[in-house]
Structures are given as C-alpha cells and as structure tokens.
C-alpha cells in the first residue's frame, strides 16, 4: 500500500475538509464523540512520543492533565480572565512544571523513571487536595466554557488532535527527530554516534507536557468542572497506554487509530457499566498477544504501510556514471 505524494496530499486535504465540515452534517452525539477522539488522540500521541520514541515510559502524564485543567480553572475562575488566556497559560505552566520535575526524575532510568513519574503525579494529587487556594478536594466549577458552542469545542479539539499529530510528524522530520528515532532503535549506540540523550529526552518530555497540558485544560474547560481526584487520576495515563499499545507504539498512526478504537469502544461499553473495564483489559491482552507492536505495527510489518512517512531518501540523482542510467538516457 504505497501511495505517491500528490495522491496522499489530496486524500489528506479531503479528510481534513470532511472533518472541518462535520458540524454542518454530523449529529450532536457524533460531534461529541469526535471531540473526545481528538482530545484523546493528542494525549495518546504525546504518551507515544515519550514511551514509543524517547523510551520514557511515564505513568505520570495525568499530572499535566491536572495542572493544565487547574491552570485554566484558576485563570478563568479565580482571576476572571477570558478563557483563551487560560488556554494559553496552561501549557506553559505544564512545561515549566515538567522542566522542574525533570531535574530529579531524569536521574532515574527505565523502570525507576516509570515509578518516579507516577509518584510525582500522586504527590501532586495530594498537594492539590490539601491546597486551600484550589478549594481542596471539592474542586471548581469552570463557567468560562459555557459560552462555547458545540462547533467551537469541536474546532478546538480538532486543532488539538491534528496539531499534536503534526507536531510529532514535524519533530520527527527534523534533525532532532532523526536523533529521536535513532534513540528509539538503540539508545546505547545512538549515544556513541553522538546523539545527546539527556537533551533529546528532555525535549520530548517538555513537548509532551505542553500538549498534554493543553488537552487537559480543554477537557476540563468543556466539562465545566474540575476536581483533583479525577483530574490527577492515573486513569488518564492508563487510557493513553491502552490507545498507544493497541494502535501501535512507536508509530504516528498508532495513537490515531487507538483513539478511535478507545472512544467508540467506550461509548458502546457504557451499556455494560460493571464489566466494561474487564472487557477493555481483555481486548488489550488479546491485541498484545496477537500483535505485540499494535495494529499499525502489524500492518507495517506485513505491508510496509505508512501514512505519515518520516523517511529521508536520497534526493539528488546520481551522476550518470552507471550503465543502467546511461542506457535510459539514450
């Protein structure tokens, strides 16, 4: 399944137009589902950047959801500033937090980083439940989001979802991205080849904090309510892990597919409240056993399918010193 470039561009533009016009033809329920898909897509994409590319398996991404959400709540509710101010401030606050947190937890590697990130997130939860400024565990009502229509929300989610995909795609196309992919394939060797491991990982961590924080802010703005036990719940990260694992870790397409599967599945499983988590778990297990690299990983192995190619290829044609190219000229 290899498309050439113009066809790919045409298909992408077509999909984008269909998505942009969805509020014109989709039902409210349908649009709400897509809002969730795009928000979860951005979160999954960022977890994938960390775990799939940078080798940082974080179980603490919920802290950026929480901090992003609380930043929006404090800016819009406590200080009564317009909602766009909240949405601009939130990702920067998260990035700053990530920078500070990186100092201790980047000293840990592998499993220790995973546990460390989780502990920081749990500590953050405890801190917020005991902080009078954010009304302890009672939480906030965020009324700024009430002015948003469904179309507004949809467009914001769309920008966030597509934007997160583009950020990862563009990052991987740069010099920095080649280092990320080399690091993904073999950290030890990439270090010998001159990739600056610490800085590369830190950049990934900061990017993921920025966008996850934005998604967390938007999510809570749309919900109109924030409460620490939900905002800092590990369920967020578990969801990201689920999407990325079943979609395909270390691929751009994986989290996109994962977000669709997760949200649709969740909508359907709402009818089975008691057993829904069991079913999620069973699905994750089956996919891990049958396709350890996820659905997209399986497809890539079988067919070489790549929707977003980050491959670099030799651009300048070689001088015609080879017999086959010489014969073509004549």
Partner 1 sequence: MAILSVSGLAISFGSNHVLKSVNFELNETEVLGVIGPNGAGKTVMLNILTGLLKPTAGSIVYMGADITGKSLYDRGRMGFGRTFQIPRPFEKLTAYENVMVGGIFGDGLSEKAAGSKASEILELIGLYPKAGVFAGKLGLLDRKRLEIGVALASNPKILLFDEVAGGLTESEVVEILNIVLKLKADGVSFIWIEHVLKTMLEGTDRVMCLAQGRDVVCGLPAEVLASKEVSEVYLGADEDE
Shortest CB 187 distance to partner 1, Å: 10
Shortest CB 217 distance to partner 1, Å: 34
Shortest CB 200 distance to partner 1, Å: 10
Shortest CB 314 distance to partner 1, Å: 5
Nearer to partner 1, 5 or 24 (CB): 5
Nearer to partner 1, 29 or 315 (CB): 315
Nearer to partner 1, 152 or 322 (CB): 322
Nearer to partner 1, 144 or 180 (CB): 180
Q: How far apart are CA 118 and CA 214, in angstroms?
A: 20
Nearer to partner 1, 92 or 106 (CB): 106
Separation in Å, CA 13 to CA 5, 6, 19: 12, 11, 10
Nearer to partner 1, 150 or 197 (CB): 197
Nearer to partner 1, 302 or 311 (CB): 311
- Which residues of the shown chain bind partner 1 in the complex (CB under 8 A)? 174-175, 178-179, 181-182, 184-186, 188-196, 250, 311-316, 318
Q: How far apart are CA 269 and CA 290, in angstroms?
A: 22
Nearer to partner 1, 24 or 318 (CB): 318
Shortest CB 186 distance to partner 1, Å: 6
Q: What is the 3-state secondary structure (H, E, C) of the chain?
A: CCCCHHHHHHHHHHHHHHHHCHHHHCCHHHHHHHHHHHHHHHHHHHHHHHHHHCCCCCCCCHHHHHHHHHHHHHHHHHCCCCHHHHHHHHHHHHHHHHHHHHHHHCCCCCHHHHHHHHHHHHHHHHHHHCCHHHCCCCCEECHHHHHCCHHHHHHHHHHHHHHHHHHHHHHHHCHHHHHHHHHHHCHHHHHHCCCCHHHHHHHHHHHHHHHHHHHHHHHHHHHCEECHHHHCCCHHHHHHHHHHHHHCCCCCHHHHHHHHHHHHHHHHHCCCCCCHHHHHHHHHHHHHHHCCCHHHHHHHHHHCCCCCCCCCCCCCCCCCCCHHHHHHHC
Shortest CB 184 distance to partner 1, Å: 7
Supply φ then ψ for residue 255, to 5 degrees. Answer: -65, -25
Pairing between β-strand 140-141 and β-strand 225-226 as defined by DSSP bridges: antiparallel
């Amino acid at each position: 399944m290899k498309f050439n470039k113009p066809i790919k561009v045409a298909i992408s533009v077509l999909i984008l137009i269909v998505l942009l016009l969805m509020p014109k033809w989709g039902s409210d329920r349908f649009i709400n589902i897509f809002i969730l898909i795009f928000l979860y897509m951005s979160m999954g994409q960022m977890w994938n950047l960390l775990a799939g590319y940078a080798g940082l398996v974080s179980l603490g991404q919920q802290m950026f959801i929480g901090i992003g959400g609380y930043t929006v709540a404090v800016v819009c509710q406590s200080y009564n500033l317009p909602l766009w101010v909240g949405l601009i401030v939130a990702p920067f606050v998260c990035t700053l937090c990530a920078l500070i947190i990186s100092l201790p937890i980047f000293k840990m590697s592998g499993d220790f980083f995973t546990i460390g990130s989780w502990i920081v997130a749990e500590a953050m939860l405890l801190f917020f439940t005991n902080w009078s400024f954010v009304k302890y565990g009672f939480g906030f009502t965020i009324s700024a989001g009430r002015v948003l229509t469904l179309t507004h929300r949809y467009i914001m989610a769309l920008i966030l979802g597509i934007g997160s995909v583009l950020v990862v795609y563009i990052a991987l196309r740069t010099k920095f991205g080649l280092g990320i992919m080399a690091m993904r394939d073999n950290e030890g060797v990439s270090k010998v080849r001159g990739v600056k491991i610490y800085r590369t990982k830190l950049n990934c961590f900061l990017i993921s904090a920025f966008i996850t924080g934005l998604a967390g802010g938007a999510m809570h703005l749309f919900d109109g309510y924030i409460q620490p036990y939900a905002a800092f719940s590990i369920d967020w990260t578990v969801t990201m892990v689920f999407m990325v694992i079943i979609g395909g870790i270390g691929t751009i397409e994986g989290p996109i597919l994962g977000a669709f599967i997760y949200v649709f599945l969740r909508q359907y499983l709402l009818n089975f409240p008691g057993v829904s988590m069991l079913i999620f778990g069973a699905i994750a297990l089956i996919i891990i056993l049958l396709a350890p690299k996820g659905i997209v990983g399986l497809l890539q192995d079988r067919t070489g399918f790549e929707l977003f190619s980050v491959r670099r290829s030799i651009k300048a044609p070689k001088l015609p010193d080879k017999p086959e190219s010489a014969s073509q000229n004549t």
